[in-house]
Amino acid sequence: MVGMMRRGEVWVGNLNPNRGAEVGKIRPVVVLQSDRVSSLGINTVIVLPTTTQVREVLRPLRVTIPARDRLRRTCQVMVDQPRTLDRQRFGTGPLTTLTAEEMATVERRLLAVMGVVTG
């Protein structure tokens, strides 16, 4: 089992098996869960998967993260596909950490997807 994972970090997560239109595969995921919740020692972590299929048409549902640190390819965070993963589904990490601006964009787009705010 992995140790402390912090909000905004990018880790490798195993999203298999998937069902229907759910995102699958082993891929980088962004830790969405608060550090306070993570510190409680629960065995699950709320994440957002990423994809290297960068599509501008899906911009309202994606946040582009450039390749850096150990994240080898530019990817997009899929804010419309939140998942809860058991800690046993995580591999390497953190690959990188989102900047404050990137995380703020993720939060705004996630709230829009959930219908909490518009835009």
CA 73 to centroid of chain Cα atoms? 15
What distance in Å separates the CA atoms of residue 82 and residue 71, rounded to the nearest whole number?
Answer: 20
| pLDDT tens-digit profile, the chain (119 residues) | 577 899 999 999 999 998 998 899 999 999 999 999 989 989 999 999 999 997 778 888 899 999 999 999 999 999 999 999 999 999 999 999 999 999 999 999 999 999 897 65
Instruction: Tell the residue number behind the tokens 């046993």, with chain if given.
Output: 88
Tokens 């996630």 correspond to what residue? Answer: 110
Domain 9-112 has CATH 3.50.80.10: no
The token pair that represents 60 in the structure block: 């309202």
